[in-house]
Amino acid sequence: MPTREAAIFPVTTNDRLLRAAKGAHVDRAPVWLMRQAGRYLPEYRKAREGRDFFDTCRDPDLVAEITLQPIRRFPLDAAIIFSDILVVPQAMGMKVEMVSGRGPVFPNPIASTADLAALIRPDVDESLGYVFEAISRTRTALGGRVPLIGFSGAPWTLMAYMVEGSGSKTFSMARAWLHTRPRESQNLLEMLTETIIEYLAGQIRAGAQMVQLFDSWAGLLGPADYRRHAFPHLVRIGEALKLQFPDVPLALFPRGAHYILEDVAESPYDVLSLDWTIDPAVARRRTRGAITLQGNLDPILLFAETRTIRESVRSMIEGFGVQRYIANLGHGIMPEHDPERVADFVRAVHEFSTDVNEKG
């Protein structure tokens, strides 16, 4: 596979996110939001009007525009490329449709050894080059204002969708595969792992300055299953990327898997993203300052009045502290959120993290 040449971009003037991710001192907590580019913004809905979701993801110019929309609207400390974790299964030969009211659907999920054998080990430059092009164009368009984050789904989460065929509260078929088809499951997870390494490496070469792995369904596995079937692949990804790009921060979001905090703190990852179901002080104590923490306001609070949002943000920042911390939500913004409440959140992070930092 040909190696993509690294491009040259303007110097990033606001590198607060990158410094916090690496444990360097910051004047206040950097802030960005998962799904910050998306359906809650009227300008996003206008840009995507009449377009299929995945067709939008394959249009580098439109992706750059959508990624920049929240940066124009809010004083955020990072942009995250607009894409979807399921572009990886698509690159491996699976059909994925975004169905209104249901979310992602695989018309032909993996149900047999033959289905597994039919998967493609993709050339990521060929099959996912549109993502790399979108990253390069977005990084250029940012002009150094803030860093650009790339991302991928984690192996277990992608496997869960590929076997289950759609979103699920339990992903029971995918979880059953780990026990009833252990060899096939391992083969699939290894194939995903190698593809993700190449995919994230391509994103970094294209201009991503930090990358995050979303293990959205980590919490559906118990501690033993997660440590056996999922976490080793995450370590493999982290080690491989650190070997190639030692200075690029790596973030991991193992949603709901509180039992894995200590393990992640000792892994190759620089940033551990947390959902809203763990107390900030507890997370800080359990990780012993060995890793930057990110999160973790409950997105539901963005439906509350401004005063409640401000009080919740202040409590969150007092719990985490300002150093080795990145302010974020505990999951993604919802389509129904009011952009004004998002603005309240960002302003509150700026205000309270500056106050906490100045008080020492």
Sign of torsion over alpha carbons 298, 299, 304, 308: positive
| CA-closest candidate to residue 36, choices 22, 17, 52 | 17
Instruction: List the domain range (segments joined by +) for residue 259.
Output: 16-359
Number of domains observed in the structure of the chain: 1
Question: Which segments of the chain have a pLDDT < 50?
Answer: 1-3
Does 20 map to a domain? yes
Burial of 25 (0-12, 13-18, 19+ CB in 10 A): exposed
Does 320 map to a domain? yes
24-37 per-position pLDDT tens digit: 999 999 999 999 99
Does 353 map to a domain? yes
Rounded to 5°, the CA angle 253-255-256 comes to 145
Please give the model's pTM, rounded to 2 decimal places. Answer: 0.96
Does 3 map to a domain? no
Distance CA 317, CA 313 (A): 6
Rounded to 5°, the CA angle 347-29-142 comes to 75
Does 239 map to a domain? yes
Alpha helices in the chain (DSSP H): 16-21, 42-48, 53-57, 60-73, 87-91, 113-117, 124-127, 129-142, 155-164, 172-180, 182-206, 223-225, 231-244, 261-265, 280-287, 306-320, 339-359
Does 183 map to a domain? yes
DSSP state of 332: P
- Count, in order, helices (H) and strands (E) of the chain: 17, 9
Distance CA 151, CA 194 (A): 15
Instruction: Yes or no: say if 94 and 108 are a contact pair by the CB < 8 Å rule.
Output: yes
Catalytic positions: 35, 39, 48, 84, 161
Distance CA 208, CA 217 (A): 24
Distance CA 127, CA 323 (A): 39
Give the other-Cβ count within 10 Å of 50's Cβ: 4
Does 271 map to a domain? yes
| CA-closest candidate to residue 285, choices 293, 296, 277, 273 | 293
The whole-number pLDDT of residue 3 equals 46
Distance CA 350, CA 75 (A): 9
**CATH assignment of the domain containing 144:** 3.20.20.210
Does 11 map to a domain? no
Longest dimension (CA), the chain: 62
Distance CA 47, CA 44 (A): 5
Phi-psi region of 143 (alpha: psi -120 to 50; beta: other; left: phi over 0): left
Q: Which residues pair with 211 in a beta bridge?
A: 150, 250
